[in-house]
């Protein structure tokens, strides 16, 4: 690597990291939080004994998982305006990513709830708990432990998927890299640099996952 | 003298008949086309101990689960004391179900302790969260109960750190802490290693001596003989016969009971 490429690498690191800090990371965090709340509701709907309620959730999940995220983004940002609905880039991205996480994480949470032994529900009922209380105090804390690894996967995928938001004009990590690349014509360098920053973020997330798993595992035999 | 077939005032002079606490009439239950309970009648007097014995799949555990509302019967009534009656003929409302659970507490075969809570938290969860009793009072009572079963030093341990016998004693303490009128035991020692069975049975026997009213599903015939005031043999979803434990276990009147006891005593 000669001096000028090295200089470009260092000088572009600023805007790229800035894009990560002001775009990629908050976009992923907000979308994940909203998506997770949505996923919990959908998971409970899927588990409902009332057929029509579980059907709604089933159809939602099927559509979200059966269509590309990029298409969903474009429908919201470029499609809705033709119906008179104009949404800014940032909220469009948050909506699309939340809807998407909701669909995927719903199945994770549903499986985690089902993985808690039936005897736990029975013991909760036995001590007099209502369904809702049994769910929040006994079942969900145990389901949370089971769902940390798959939900971490979902989150890490989401962090990388936020790069798609560059296509609807959100200023985030990849869009910053693209702009420097277009200006300097150093495509290989800039795209590898963007990849490197994504990788570092994901490494950090993996270690957070590790800490979370150990914390939640402390009451379980190994 | 069997409390199941005689009203209280029919007891002969000199034998004080206990006031009935639990009354079950015409309890029926099917799973799909499989009729699990035909028509079960039971009466357990206050302070009495009823042992339910019978082959697996006979319906004895289903009876017990109906008593705690974990299984909803298709017909019949369950009453505890004078206040609570659950009529399965009319769809039982949640309020009645809650009242039934308020008055009975169950000890499970697989303990079913809450793994994410400590021993103490397992015991006080019901009293504090459900019954709304003051934390200090519930904690003091829980610690006294844990002390009594020799587990006071395990108060901050999680269930996985305990042996099966210790877990089951916590399960019993959790049930007692609810201050129930009726204790239900579903094969309380069936999951335990043989050397741990004794501790749990000894504790249940102590509770019987103290006058707790209990229904116990068990395969421990010797234990039933010693602790129960009455034994009922359940097979094919009906109570084939019931009566004094010493009498019934030694001299059953029904052929089915005889065969069952023989198989238990001489497994091979």
Residue A199 maps to which CATH number? 1.10.3720.10
Give the mean pLDDT of A14-22.
90
With 0.80 as the threshold, say if the pTM is over it. yes
Q: Where are the beta strands (DSSP E) in B208-266?
A: 213-217, 230-235, 238-243
Tell me the nearest-neighbour CA distance from A39 into chain B, angstroms: 23
Give the mean pLDDT of B73-95.
84
Give the mean pLDDT of A87-112.
95
Residue at A221 is within a domain = no
CB-CB under 8 Å, B129 with A133: yes
Give the mean pLDDT of B148-168.
94
pLDDT, greater one: A8 or B141: B141
Question: Side by side, which strands form the sheet with B34-45?
Answer: B34-45, B20-31, B75-80, B84-87
Residue at A32 is within a domain = yes
Q: What is the distance between the terminal CA atoms of chain B, rounded to a whole angstrom?
A: 34
Query: Quick check: helix, strand or coil at residue A198?
Result: helix
Give the mean pLDDT of A141-166.
93
Find the helix or strand (DSSP H, E) in which B149 lies: none
pLDDT on residue A220: 64
pLDDT on residue B201: 92
Distance (Å, whole) CA A46 – CA A52: 10
Q: Is the pLDDT of residue A222 over 50?
A: no
Distance (Å, whole) CA B242 – CA B265: 19
CB-CB under 8 Å, B116 with A123: no
Mean pLDDT estimate for chain B? 89
Per-residue pLDDT band for B3 (boundaries 50, 70, 90) equals very low
pLDDT in tens, A171-196: 889 999 999 899 889 899 999 999 99
Give the mean pLDDT of B227-235.
93
pLDDT on residue B108: 96
Q: Are A112 and A40 in contact (CB under 8 A)?
A: no
Helix axes A89-115, A140-161, angle to 10 degrees: 150
pLDDT on residue B15: 54
Query: Quick check: helix, strand or coil at residue A46?
Result: helix
ipTM of the modeled complex: 0.89
For chain B, the 3-state helix, strand and coil shares in percent, each to the nearest 5, are: 40, 25, 35
Q: Are A199 and A160 in contact (CB under 8 A)?
A: no
Residue at A176 is within a domain = yes
Mean pLDDT estimate for chain A? 92
Distance (Å, whole) CA B179 – CA B101: 11
Neighbours of A182 (CB within 10 A): 11
pLDDT in tens, B37-73: 999 999 999 999 999 999 888 899 999 999 998 988 9
CATH 3.40.50.300 fits domain B8-110+181-265: yes
Question: What percent of chain A has a predicted confidence (pLDDT) above 90?
Answer: 79
pLDDT, greater one: A221 or A90: A90
Give the mean pLDDT of B238-264.
89
pLDDT on residue B99: 87
Distance (Å, whole) CA B30 – CA B73: 8
CB-CB under 8 Å, B114 with A120: yes
Q: Are B108 and A123 in contact (CB under 8 A)?
A: yes
Residue at A111 is within a domain = yes
Residue at A53 is within a domain = yes
β-strand partners of B44: B22
Task: Give the closest of B101, B159, B160 to A126, CB-based.
Answer: B101
CB-CB under 8 Å, B174 with A127: yes
When mean pLDDT is compared over A156-160, B73-77, B192-196, B222-226, the highest value belongs to: A156-160
Q: Are B244 and B5 in contact (CB under 8 A)?
A: no
Number of structural domains (chain A) is 1
CB-CB under 8 Å, A141 with B129: no
| Cα–Cα nearest to B183, from B25, B48, B55 | B48
| Cα–Cα nearest to B206, from B183, B186, B190 | B183
Instruction: Tell me the CB-side half-sphere exposure of residue B105, using CA atoms within 13 A.
Output: 18
pLDDT on residue B13: 55
Q: Is the pLDDT of residue A221 over 70?
A: no
Q: Is the pLDDT of residue B116 over 50?
A: yes
Tell me the nearest-neighbour CA distance from A169 into chain B, angstroms: 45
pLDDT on residue B23: 93
Report residue A129 CA to chain centroid gap.
33
Question: What percent of chain B has a predicted confidence (pLDDT) above 90?
Answer: 63
Per-residue pLDDT band for B17 (boundaries 50, 70, 90) equals low
Helix axes A3-19, A187-216, angle to 10 degrees: 50
Give the mean pLDDT of B213-217.
96
Q: Is the pLDDT of residue B241 over 50?
A: yes
Q: Is the pLDDT of residue B97 over 70?
A: yes
Q: Is the pLDDT of residue A83 over 60?
A: yes
Q: Is the pLDDT of residue A87 over 70?
A: yes
CB-CB under 8 Å, B115 with A123: no
Where do the domains of chain B lie?
A: 8-110+181-265
Give the mean pLDDT of A49-55.
94
Domain that holds residue A7: 3-216
Tell me the nearest-neighbour CA distance from A218 into chain B, angstroms: 9
**Residue that is written with structure tokens 């588990």 in the block:** A47
Q: Which residues of A touch B (CB under 8 A)?
A: 117, 119-120, 122-129, 133, 137-138, 141-142, 145, 218-221
């Amino acid at each position: 690597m000669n001096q000028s490429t090295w200089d470009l690498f260092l000088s572009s690191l600023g805007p790229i990291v800035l894009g990560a800090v002001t775009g990629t990371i908050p976009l992923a965090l907000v979308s994940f939080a909203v998506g997770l709340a949505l996923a919990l509701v959908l998971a409970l709907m899927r588990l409902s004994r009332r057929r029509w309620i579980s059907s709604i959730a089933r159809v939602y999940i099927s559509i979200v998982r059966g269509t590309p995220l990029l298409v969903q983004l474009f429908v919201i940002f470029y499609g809705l305006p033709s119906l008179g609905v104009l949404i800014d880039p940032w909220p469009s991205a948050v909506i699309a990513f939340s809807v998407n996480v909701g669909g995927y994480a719903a199945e994770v949470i549903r499986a985690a709830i089902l993985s808690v032994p039936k005897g736990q529900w029975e013991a909760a009922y036995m001590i007099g708990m209502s369904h809702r209380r049994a769910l929040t105090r006994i079942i969900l804390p145990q389901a949370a432990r089971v769902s940390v690894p798959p939900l971490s996967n979902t989150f890490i995928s989401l962090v990388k998927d936020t790069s798609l938001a560059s296509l609807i004009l959100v200023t985030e990590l990849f869009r910053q890299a693209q702009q420097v690349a277009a200006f300097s014509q150093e495509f290989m360098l800039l795209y590898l640099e963007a990849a490197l920053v994504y990788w570092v973020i994901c490494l950090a997330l993996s270690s957070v996952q590790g800490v979370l798993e150990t914390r939640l595992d402390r009451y379980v035999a190994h | 003298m069997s409390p199941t077939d005689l009203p209280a005032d029919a007891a002969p002079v000199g034998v004080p008949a206990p006031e009935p606490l639990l009354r079950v009439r015409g309890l029926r239950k099917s799973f799909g086309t499989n009729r699990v309970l035909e028509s079960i009648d039971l009466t357990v007097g206050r302070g009495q101990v009823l042992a339910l014995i019978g082959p697996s799949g006979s319906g004895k555990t289903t009876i017990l689960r109906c008593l705690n509302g974990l299984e909803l019967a298709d017909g019949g009534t369950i009453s505890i004391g004078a206040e609570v009656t659950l009529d399965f003929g009319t769809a039982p409302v949640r309020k009645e179900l809650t009242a039934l659970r308020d008055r009975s507490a169950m000890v499970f075969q697989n303990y079913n302790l809450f793994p994410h809570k400590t021993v103490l938290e397992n015991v006080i969860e019901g009293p504090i969260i459900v019954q709304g009793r003051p934390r200090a009072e519930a904690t003091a009572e829980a610690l006294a109960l844990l002390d009594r079963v020799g587990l006071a030093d395990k108060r901050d341990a999680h269930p996985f750190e305990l042996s099966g016998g210790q877990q089951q004693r916590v399960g019993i303490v959790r049930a007692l802490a609810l201050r129930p009128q009726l204790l239900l035991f579903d094969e309380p020692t069936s999951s335990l290693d043989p050397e741990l069975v004794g501790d749990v049975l000894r504790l249940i026997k102590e509770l019987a001596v103290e006058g707790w009213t209990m229904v116990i599903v068990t395969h421990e015939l010797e234990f039933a003989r010693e602790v129960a005031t009455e034994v009922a043999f359940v097979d094919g979803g009906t109570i084939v016969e019931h009566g004094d434990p010493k009498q019934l276990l030694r001299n059953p009147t029904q052929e089915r009971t005889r065969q069952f006891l023989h198989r238990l005593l001489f497994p091979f």
